[in-house]
Amino acid sequence: MMFLVHSETESGNIIKNLGASEYSYYFVLKAFRPLLEEMGLVVAVSDPAQEADRIWDNAARHGEDCLFLTFSPPHRSFIPARCPAIPVFAWEFDTLPTESWNDDPRHDWRVVLRQAGRAITHSNFAVQTTKAAMGRAFPVVSLPAPVWDGYAGLYDADASAVTQAASINVRGRVFDTRTLDLTPHSSAGRRLMGPPPLPPEAGTRETLHELILEGVIYSSVFCPMDGRKNWFDMICGFCLALGDREDATLVLKLTHHDCELAILAMLGDLAKLPPFRCRVVLIDGYLPDASYMRLTSLSSYTVNTSHGEGQCLPLMEYMSAGKPAIAPTHTAMADYITPANAFLLTSTREPAIWPHDPREAMRTRRHRIDFETLMAAYKESYDVAKHDPARYAQMGAAAHHGLKAHCSLQVTREKLQEFLQLQPVPAA
């Protein structure tokens, strides 16, 4: 079997494209590639319109099966005329886009999915949403990105929830409330001095920092320009719940090539809060794998307060390493967040737009986090970290083993092999 794979973001432009539209598909493809290489020959194509059918024709002449996997949302997926194709996409809203705009019928995802005849997504929630739009017989499967094996080695059953002082090397800007003066970012400061610049002591994206972390460490990795990530609740809930806990630290690893506006908004929100002794650290830079793994290892918990997730790779990675979570049980997270491995957040549905719809028409729903349950989760998790090592160890083990059943190479391989035996639905 020959697998042709494509993602708009590639290794050569990932740093420049961090946080840009659909950038996360690069990481999904990166996670799937070792599995595909076990199953056949993998060929990356940069221009599917020019390459996919040509390679398929050549493979057919040599009696070789060929399949094109496009790691893109359907409206950005090219479906070749001859080479069989499967869109691999994430989705976190309760309706599939079923309308078109800007004279492009592909914005109605049903058009593209009918052309392909089958699809791969990353959650049971997305499978049900797809079937609701395409019909119950449409072949679609939930295959989470197989990230467990890459992070399972970080799991330490005897690890303490309270981290002793340890360092992590960071190239980029670091905004640390222990050293920052938030006064210029307050309402009074803005009235007196005008809009503040970013604090110069944070450095530039090329500055090397040795960041020392200790205590009970909460980590989250997300694009701050993505409103679905709901960082406002995450930051405010942390500072209000644990504001008097000097050894509590929230580390936010930001993934966007230009975070300035979001960072200024975060600093402004921090300046509005009552005085707090807990610590918030914003990291604006691209962490190499070793530093990312180091941050994962040092963390006590991982946090998610989003309005919806297609799968949430960072959350899955941290939990694969045995880090319990603070997270809701909606959308894709319902597949792997449980009372055994996480402090659960409740939510309610509210009207929302499809994120790529320029009309901003309310056609779907997202989830609003209940702030009281977030506050309670921060407080309870801190108490567990400090005073209940047995429960912390049980939760870490449940995270590690639960994610093995959810997103290990073995589990994903078996499901993919079974799915590929299904015939696509012929286009009408």
* pLDDT, tens digit, 9 for 90 and up, residues 35-65: 999 999 999 999 999 999 999 999 999 999 9
Kindly state whether residue 425 falls inside one of the protein's structural domains.
Answer: no
- Phi and psi, residue 369, nearest 5°: -75, 140
DSSP-assigned beta bridge partners for residue 283: 174, 253
| Same domain, yes or no: 119 and 152 | no
| Same domain, yes or no: 123 and 170 | no
Residue 85's H or E segment, with its range, is: strand 85-88
Kindly state whether residue 91 falls inside one of the protein's structural domains.
Answer: yes
| Same domain, yes or no: 193 and 214 | yes
**Percent of the chain whose pLDDT exceeds 90:** 89
| Same domain, yes or no: 134 and 159 | no
Residue 156 has pLDDT above 90, yes or no: yes
b/e per residue, 314-339, with b = 16+ CB within 10 A? bbbbbbbbbbbbbbbbbbbbebbbbe
Single pTM value for the model: 0.94
Mean pLDDT score, 378-386 = 98
* pLDDT, tens digit, 9 for 90 and up, residues 49-108: 999 999 999 999 999 999 999 999 999 999 999 999 999 999 999 999 999 999 999 999
CA 321 vs CA 195, 212, 293, 295, 395: distances in Å? 41, 21, 9, 11, 12
pLDDT band at 10 (very low <50, low <70, confident <90, very high): low
Residue 262 has pLDDT above 90, yes or no: yes
| Cα–Cα distance, 407 to 413 (Å, whole number) | 10
Instruction: State the pLDDT at residue 428.
Output: 58
* pLDDT, tens digit, 9 for 90 and up, residues 11-23: 554 555 454 556 7
| Cα–Cα distance, 359 to 346 (Å, whole number) | 30
Instruction: State the pLDDT at residue 413.
Output: 97
Residue 303 has pLDDT above 80, yes or no: yes
Instruction: State the pLDDT at residue 288.
Output: 84
Instruction: State the pLDDT at residue 164.
Output: 95
Number of domains forming the structure of the chain: 2
| Same domain, yes or no: 238 and 131 | no
Mean pLDDT score, 384-405 = 98
Residue 365 has pLDDT above 70, yes or no: yes
Mean pLDDT score, 226-233 = 94
| Same domain, yes or no: 297 and 274 | yes
Residue 2, both tokens: 């020959």
Chain mean position to CA 247: 27
Pairing of strands 140-142, 163-171: unpaired
Instruction: State the pLDDT at residue 423.
Output: 82
Residue 233, both tokens: 């609740």
Mean pLDDT score, 329-353 = 98
Contact 263, 198 (CB under 8 A): yes
| Same domain, yes or no: 307 and 399 | yes
Residue 373 has pLDDT above 70, yes or no: yes
Encoded amino acid at 174, one letter: V
pLDDT band at 360 (very low <50, low <70, confident <90, very high): very high
Residue 425's H or E segment, with its range, is: none
- Higher-scoring residue by pLDDT: 287, 239: 239
Instruction: State the pLDDT at residue 18.
Output: 54
Instruction: State the pLDDT at residue 19.
Output: 46
Coil vs helix vs strand at 38 = helix
Instruction: State the pLDDT at residue 285.
Output: 87
Residue-range definition of the domain harbouring residue 178: 148-407
Coil vs helix vs strand at 362 = strand
What's the CATH code of the domain at 251? 3.40.50.2000
| Cα–Cα distance, 132 to 81 (Å, whole number) | 26
| Same domain, yes or no: 125 and 172 | no
Residue 321, both tokens: 């390493």
Coil vs helix vs strand at 337 = coil
Coil vs helix vs strand at 308 = coil
Instruction: State the pLDDT at residue 13.
Output: 47
Contact 5, 45 (CB under 8 A): yes
Instruction: State the pLDDT at residue 21.
Output: 53
| Same domain, yes or no: 351 and 265 | yes
Contact 77, 332 (CB under 8 A): no
Encoded amino acid at 3, one letter: F
- Higher-scoring residue by pLDDT: 345, 192: 345
End-to-end CA distance of the chain: 27
- Phi and psi, residue 214, nearest 5°: -160, 165
Mean pLDDT score, 312-327 = 98
Residue 107, both tokens: 């914005």
Kindly state whether residue 275 falls inside one of the protein's structural domains.
Answer: yes
Mean pLDDT score, 399-425 = 95
- The angle subtended at Cα 112 by Cα 30 and Cα 225, nearest 5°, is 50
Contact 119, 128 (CB under 8 A): no
Mean pLDDT (the chain) is 94
* pLDDT, tens digit, 9 for 90 and up, residues 327-337: 999 999 999 99
Phi-psi region for residue 135, left (φ > 0), alpha (ψ -120 to 50) or beta? Answer: left
Instruction: State the pLDDT at residue 193.
Output: 87
| Same domain, yes or no: 69 and 212 | no
